[in-house]
Chains A and B, each alone.
Chain A
Amino acid sequence: MNGAHDLGGMHGLGPINPEPEREEPTFHAEWEKRALGLTLTAGWLGQWNIDISRFARERQHPVEYLSNSYYENWLTGLETLLVEHGVVSPEELKQAKAIDPTPEELTAKCAPASAVQGILSSGGPCDMATDDRQEFQIGDKIKVLQLNPTGHTRVPRYIRGHEGIITDYYGSFIFPDENAQGNKIGQHLYNVSFDGNQLWGDGNDTTIHVDLWQNYMELA
């Protein structure tokens, strides 16, 4: 979707103001720690995937998305996911109190502390085979399709309609646009380079590399 999260090239957002590396804490408030932990542990209940959760954050109203702090966006996304997937009811969320019984198949997935290291260190690989033919080779000139899906996508606006060069082929990976709708399919994934002069105008002597799935492109 053309949401506020798709920020590449946007103006007027002010300076970055980075904190010095040696002084920046991992978290800036106690609640941020719990928000991270809740997001991860609730994710392990297996009711949604990473693209569904990204979409829950990015379809907030742009004013909210941009005014919230990072972990506030995570928290809002988590509340949305829990309600939409029926894990908690709106009333339970409002009252912060359990009203309905929790199905056993869900409580069985509650990760104990002893499982955390194993889950974190095994992660969740995203490669997935496909029967589709690999359409592009390294060195091919491609054009990004002029896509404007209203659902989740990982093709940023600033490259749509532009030409680029395939610089790497990674294999086939879960296609996020479908994954966000609960359909797990594999699709070929490439790295594509774009000329800064073409994207941003003359005098931008940089190269921008973007990972793109095959469905986002055609041969130029």
Chain B
Amino acid sequence: MGHDHSHDHTDPPSDPALRVKALESLLVEKGLVDPAAIDEIIETYETKVGPRNGAKVVARAWTDPDFKSLLLSDANKAIHSMGYTGRQGEHMKVVENTDTRHNLVVCTLCSCYPWTVLGLPPVWYKSAPYRARAVSDPKGVLAEFGTTLPEGVKISVWDSTSEMRFLVLPQRPEGTEDWTAEELEELVTRNSMIGVEQAQTLEKLHAIKADKTP
């Protein structure tokens, strides 16, 4: 299988698709895994549990001061009250962006990520360059996402070394004072809740929509 620690790295690479297929058929044959359970897991993270959950949390915090204060003081209680409970969201902490502070989340040791509110992490979040540089060069990382912070805004980086999962509460974009929570959800990107970007501005949202119009 090519993962003996002592080999000399000249083995032909084994195709992971074939390895996974072989392993699944073995575990099914041994009565240890139900393929339908795997289907159910995949469907959950492809269609049910994803960043729209987090967007609902953020939009509610933007429009409901009591909820926001609960979210910042007891994130578990606030987020669980919206029904977002479970795996990789058991222990939550929410960090708020302000006029002087921008937050960025990483897991330098593996890929810890708040699944219940953001779903499965994107490839870049799990990648070595992001994990290496988010703590040592966060400004450079933000620049790669096209994010420049206003003068005077300092960066806090949160390295997820325990089972605590972090969610960034981005700043509410200007010009949205009359918007409802449902409308605001559209401005809350996944990346803004990790902290590599800010919430969508109205200009950017309009540009994306125009771009999508055939």
**Residues of A near any B CB (own CB < 8 A):** 5-11, 13-19, 21-22, 24, 26-31, 33-38, 40-42, 45, 50, 54, 57-61, 63-64, 66, 69-72, 75-76, 78-80, 82, 87-88, 92-94, 96-98, 102, 106-107, 110-113, 115-117, 119-127, 154-156, 158, 168, 170, 173-174, 176, 189, 191, 193, 199-200, 204-213
Contact = CB atoms under 8 A, between A and B. Distances in A.
Contact of A35 (B16, B46, B157): B16
Contact of B128 (A7, A127, A176, A212): A7
B118 to A, nearest CB: 11
Contacts of A76: 3
Interface stretch (B58-66, B138-146, B167-175, B176-184): B138-146
Given A16-B127, A97-B29, A154 B91 contact: no
Classify chain B: how many residues form its interface, as a range: 35 or more
B33 A206 contact: no
A102 B3 contact: no
A24 B159 CA distance: 24
Contacts of B161: 154-156, 210-212
B67 interface: no
Contacts of A204: 136
A12 to B, nearest CB: 9
Contacts of A176: 162
A97 B17 contact: no
A109 to B, nearest CB: 8
B80 to A, nearest CB: 10
Interface SS of A by simple majority: mixed
Contact of A80 (B3, B22, B36, B137): B3
Contacts of A50: 163
B37 A96 contact: no
Contacts of B40: 113, 116-117
B204 to A, nearest CB: 12
Contacts of A41: 27, 32-34, 37-38, 41
Contacts of B136: 8-9, 158, 199-200, 204
B132 A10 contact: yes
Given A63-B9, A88-B30, A211-B161, A11 B156 contact: no
Interface string B83-99: 00111111101000000
B37 A61 contact: no
B89 A40 contact: no
Q: Which 3 A-B pairs have the closest CB atoms?
A: A37-B38, A211-B162, A96-B22
